[in-house]
């Protein structure tokens, strides 16, 4: 009985179970047709292997990576700005627990620190001072000071310097430094 | 807004707080700046009197040491914005060099330092305290026709 070609091919490729293989081998040995068929199978297989080897030897991989990269670059389309922003927002907001809440803590601390410093260092939160028109200076008791500008001079020994307090028309006194050249 | 993403109240509050702190810091920085005017006046004896723009100083110019001159001309009036502890170089005539710095506030007075020098000479350092809009003056350097007077007047 002639062996099925498919089973013969599986026998050749060593894909059969041991029991099946033993049975098929016995069949092949007892059948000249199957022996001939197996020999043909071996010849064809050998022929394909030789062809495969020759083809591989003729294939050149030079510049292969560059060609692939060029194809990828040419296929790539520019991403619209709105899409970029959308992706950024999505990424940012998806990590809000890791980003926003610590940021809020830092901002809160910074705000509190600035508030304290601001209250101490500036008049931002203080009551408005009375306006000054150049002729008067505000004081808590409401009296007009007699001196509204003063100076303290440091000059080289060889330069004679004098200080004056001159009265303005409004009755205030301003500081004048006279340098005798 | 990206679909499927919600901003919670805490996050909104954090954003507002963060922006407020930036605004506050900006305002704080601006509050440290003052505006100053530097008047360059030439005192001489060319009988032209006190310039109209200097009338407010007429009584000052009638007193010593200015009373030896009969003419006062305004040569220039330059505005400077001074930031705390950041000296500014002044634009002054001749070979006169000047630097003005704001050192902060004491009571209601502005504390200023004016450094003046001629050419390569050592500077004269004038530490002035003046109320808002109240000038102090440094004068006496020789000018082409008499003497230079520099009046420094600042407002916060």
Question: pLDDT at position A177, please?
Answer: 94
3-state secondary structure chain A: CCCCHHHHHHHHCCCCCHHHHHHHHHHHHHCHHHHHHHHHHHHHHHHHHHHHHHHHHHCCCCCHHHHHHHHHHHHCCCCCHHHHHHHHHHHHHHCHHHHHHHHHHHHHHHHHHHHHHHHHHCCCCCCCCCCCCCCCCCCCCCCCCCECEEEEEECCCCCEEEEEEEECCCCCEEEEEEEEC
**Helix A5-12 and helix A32-58: axis angle, to 10°?**
60
**Residue A127 in this model has a pLDDT that exceeds 60:** no
pLDDT in tens, B35-46: 999 999 999 999
The number of residues in chain B equals 156
The proportion of chain B whose per-residue pLDDT surpasses 90, expressed as a percent, equals 68
* Residue contacts between A and B (CB atoms, under 8 Å): 173
- With contact defined as beta carbons under 8 Å apart, do B150 and B66 qualify? no
Show residues of chain A in contact with B15, CB under 8 Å: 100, 104
Interface with chain B: mutation pick from A116, A135, A144, A151, highest number of B CBs within 10 Å: A151
**What SS3 state is found at B69?**
coil
Beta partners for residue B84, in sequence order: B102
Q: A164 vs B57: CB contact, 8 Å cut-off?
A: no
Question: pLDDT at position B77, please?
Answer: 95
- With contact defined as beta carbons under 8 Å apart, do B104 and B83 qualify? no
Please give the full DSSP string across A22-71, using - where no structure is assigned. Answer: HHHHHHHHH-HHHHHHHHHHHHHHHHHHHHHHHHHHH---TTHHHHHHHH
**Residue A122 in this model has a pLDDT that exceeds 80:** no
Interface with chain A: mutation pick from B22, B33, B61, B126, highest number of A CBs within 10 Å: B126
Of A89, A96, A151, the CB nearest to B126: A151
DSSP letter (8 states) at residue A134: S
Question: pLDDT at position B124, please?
Answer: 93
Residue of A nearest to B124 (CA): A155
Of A129-133, B13-17, B113-117, minimum mean pLDDT range: A129-133
What residues contact A148, with CB distance under 8 A and at least 6 apart? A136, A137, A172, A173, A174, B130, B131, B134
Please give the full DSSP string across B74-125, using - where no structure is assigned. Answer: EEEEEEEEEEBTB-EEE--STTEEEEEEEEEEETTEEEEEEEEEETTSPPEE
pLDDT in tens, B57-91: 999 999 999 999 999 999 999 999 999 999 999 99
Show residues of chain A in contact with B98, CB under 8 Å: none
Q: Where are the domains of chain B?
A: 33-155
Q: B131 vs A94: CB contact, 8 Å cut-off?
A: no
Question: pLDDT at position B27, please?
Answer: 63
Checking ipTM against 0.95, whether it exceeds it is no
**Residue B118 in this model has a pLDDT that exceeds 60:** yes
Query: Hunting for tokens 């001196």 — which residue is that?
Result: A147
Residues A172 and B2: their CA atoms lie apart, in Å, by: 66
Q: Token digits for B26?
A: 């900006």
Is the torsion defined by CA of B14, B20, B26, B31 positive or negative? negative
Short-list B105, B111, B146, CA closest to B126 = B111
pLDDT band at A88 (very low <50, low <70, confident <90, very high): confident
Helices (H) and strands (E) in chain B, counts: 2, 9
pLDDT in tens, A23-70: 988 988 898 888 888 888 888 888 888 888 887 777 777 788 888 888
């Amino acid at each position: 009985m002639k062996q099925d070609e498919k089973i013969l091919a599986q026998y050749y490729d060593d894909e059969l179970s041991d029991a099946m293989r033993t049975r098929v081998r016995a069949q092949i040995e007892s059948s000249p047709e199957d022996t001939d068929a197996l020999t043909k199978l071996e010849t064809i297989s050998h022929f394909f292997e030789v062809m495969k080897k020759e083809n591989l030897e003729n294939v050149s991989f030079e510049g292969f990576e560059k060609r692939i990269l060029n194809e990828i670059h040419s296929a790539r389309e520019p991403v619209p700005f709105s899409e970029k922003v959308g992706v950024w927002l999505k990424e940012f907001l998806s990590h809000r627990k890791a980003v926003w809440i610590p940021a809020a803590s830092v901002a809160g601390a910074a705000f509190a620190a600035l508030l304290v410093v601001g209250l101490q260092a500036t008049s931002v939160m203080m009551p408005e001072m009375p306006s000054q028109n150049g002729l008067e200076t505000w004081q808590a008791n409401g009296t007009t000071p007699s001196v509204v500008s003063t100076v303290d001079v440091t000059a080289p020994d060889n330069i004679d310097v004098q200080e004056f307090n001159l009265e303005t028309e409004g009755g205030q006194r301003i500081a004048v430094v006279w340098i005798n050249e | 807004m990206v679909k499927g993403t919600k901003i919670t109240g805490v996050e909104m509050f954090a954003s507002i707080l963060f922006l407020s702190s930036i605004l506050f810091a900006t305002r704080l920085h601006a509050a440290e700046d003052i505006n100053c005017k530097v008047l360059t006046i030439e005192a001489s004896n060319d009988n032209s009197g006190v310039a109209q723009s200097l009338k407010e100083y007429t009584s000052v110019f009638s007193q010593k040491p200015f009373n030896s001159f009969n003419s006062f001309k305004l040569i220039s009036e330059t505005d400077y914005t001074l930031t705390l502890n950041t000296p500014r170089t002044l634009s002054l005539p001749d070979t006169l060099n000047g630097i003005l710095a704001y050192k902060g506030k004491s009571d209601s007075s502005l504390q200023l330092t004016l450094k003046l020098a001629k050419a390569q000479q050592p500077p004269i350092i004038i530490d002035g305290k003046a109320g808002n809009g109240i000038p102090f003056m440094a004068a006496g350097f020789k000018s082409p026709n008499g003497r230079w007077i520099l009046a420094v007047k600042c407002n916060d």
